[in-house]
Amino acid sequence: MRMRRFVFGGILVLGVCGTVYLSAQDPSDEVRISTMRPVVRGRTQAAASMKAEATRAADRILQAGGNAFDAAVAGQAVLGLVDAASNGVGSDAVILVYDAKAKAVVSINAEGTAPRLATIEWYQKNLGGKLPQSDTLLSGTVPGVVDAWYTLLDRWGTMTFAQVLQPAIDTAENGFPIGERMAAAIAGSRKLKKYPTSVKVYFPGGAAPRPGDIFRNPDLARTLRKLVDAEKENAGRGRHEALKAARDRFYKGDIARTMAKFSEEQGGLFRYEDFASYTDKVETPVSIDYRGYRVYKNASANQGPTELFALNILEGYDLKKLGHNSPDYIHTSIEAVKLALGDREKYLGDMDFIQIPYEGLLSKEYARERRTLIDPEHASLELRPGVPEKFTKTTQALNRPVHINLEGEADHEGDTSYLAVIDRDRNMVSFEPSLHSGFGTGVVMADLGFIFNCRGDYYSLVAGEANALAPGKRPRSTLQSTLVMKSNQPFMIVGSPGGDDQVFRTIQTLLNIVDFGMNVQEAIEAPRWATRSFPASPFPHTMYPGEMSVEQRVPEAVREALIKRGHKLRVGGPWTMGSLAAIVVDQKTGVLSAGTDPRVDAYAIAW
């Protein structure tokens, strides 16, 4: 029997600069590493996610002969249980995949859609022109993740729903030892306590579970079994029809009818037709070349392309010469992302409803023009979208309004999860599922065991804006997956939970690897920066002009220099800014290097 070697990302290394002793007798054998966790390496396949249980579920499928697409479905189904505050069956999602056989990168847009009854006029008439912030079914959109499961399995997978959902069904029925983070999230959630169906699931016996308690969700297990049952009943019609029957039971069968009936009873706007008409979309991603690396993002209804705009601007600087996390480097990077976020606000949204002038937005000429707006000595305080239409052949000027709100306290962060898988054939899946904010709408749907995402609070209620609410429209979410190729070969997948901050975390990780030569774990653990000098995605879309933040590990001298340039600086704890996971492929040796964020419970496996 061939011996397999497993490496786990949860190995504890003491201290910021941990020391591993190979021999206590000989000091020359002392090996010093510069990261909290080691790089997790393997030759065959790798998986990484925000929770160990989900990573193990993906790995089990890979070991059983499944491919990356099968493993991604299994991993996310478990992730929705063990990271339930951040994602689940009611999630929306964006996914980037590399199909090794076709040698193609593909985008899956599984963002939810607004109910047909949801209009700007309805919210003006019934809620005083406001959107509920991360609470009630009035902040929800149609779940997209189950359709994403179907797309992954039907187009590229090899296994059945029965096979890939079994780890999640086992976890839901038999339970798992709940961790400190999820226990605290349940105990601290006010909205869960408001809804009887949510209390039933998350406060069994009337009390919040404590760390180490076995947490079960039998209602969700029954819902997942319904999908499997529908598949088995239609097995004689062939694999495609069987998979579709499972998917259709969720969106067109008794599960959809239960969701619609419960929504109407609870004062929500969802009706059966909203689920029956829903479909995810397989789309062509957008991409740019950055210093010889081809960086891909999902094209529609998400903020991912913002990173491409910023990378084009930053390509004009010698970042390595500026110095990692120097005042010049952080200032230049912050100003570049501010410009990119100005274009996010004006131009990005659901491509079924608006035109996005990507020809101009992604052009190097437009980036050159935008670069001239960066003052090396002064922080900008304004939102400054550009005019990329000038750099297109066919697009006329889009006189689209942009509303800036300086009132309220909109949150720029959020609760999302992430899963990355690469298999032996070098298929890659970068999967970002989300409920948007902790426990989404807060409302467990009837006796189904899951909660809808609350992405509906992202819409603008200003008619004509790129992200303005319309029935059936997908909001411009903060979700953004990243896939990188080099010389037409797989190089990296990376993703980060964290609302608007996601772009900052993934771009810093990429720059740390490409420009500063860090390994994947060093790149993830490096001190981070962020800004809130742009409209927040959640309602009421507050902007905080000039504000930026850094982790405390950024030296005080750097912080003082940033303040002198006019940045309104906030300093967080040394390990407080977000979470991330990534897998890098060494194109010479084929070795897979997985990294996970010690700021959270993320975990990697490779072999």
> 85-119 pLDDT, tens per residue?
999 999 999 999 999 999 999 999 999 999 999 99
DSSP 514: H
| Residue 315 pLDDT | 98
| Residue 20 pLDDT | 37
> 221-264 pLDDT, tens per residue?
999 999 999 999 999 999 999 999 999 999 999 999 999 999 99
DSSP codes joined into one string, 207-246? SPPPTTPEE--HHHHHHHHHHHHHHHHTGGG-HHHHHHHH
3-state secondary structure of 593: strand
DSSP 322: H
Percent of the chain with pLDDT strictly greater than 90: 91
Q: Which residues contact 82 (CB under 8 A, 6 or more apart)?
A: 51, 53, 54, 171, 176, 179, 182
Nearest CA among 30, 33, 43, 44 for reference residue 11: 33
Q: Is the pLDDT of residue 566 over 60?
A: yes
Q: Is the pLDDT of residue 457 over 90?
A: yes
Rounded CA-CA distance 274/163 in Å is 29
Contact of 105 with 427, CB cutoff 8 Å: no
3-state secondary structure of 321: helix
> 441-456 pLDDT, tens per residue?
999 999 999 999 999 9
Identify any residues that bridge with 548 across adjacent strands, giving them in sequence order: 531, 569
| Residue 30 pLDDT | 56
Task: Output Rg (C-alpha) for the chain, integer angstroms.
Answer: 23
| Residue 310 pLDDT | 98
| Residue 558 pLDDT | 98
> 382-413 pLDDT, tens per residue?
999 999 999 999 878 898 999 899 998 877 66
Q: Is the pLDDT of residue 9 over 70?
A: no
| Residue 504 pLDDT | 97
Strands 419-422 and 529-531: unpaired
Is the torsion defined by CA of 315, 317, 320, 325 positive or negative? negative
More confidently predicted of 20 and 339: 339
- Give pTM, 2 decimals: 0.94
| Residue 196 pLDDT | 98
DSSP codes joined into one string, 442-489? S-B-TTS--B---GGGG-B-STTSTTB--TTPPP-BS---EEEEETTE
Q: Which residues contact 177 (CB under 8 A, 6 or more apart)?
A: 212, 213, 214, 215
Q: Is the pLDDT of residue 203 over 80?
A: yes
| Residue 2 pLDDT | 33
| Mean pLDDT, the chain, whole residue set | 94
Residue 208 vs residues 249, 358, 444: alpha-carbon distances, Å: 32, 48, 16
Rounded CA-CA distance 396/390 in Å is 8
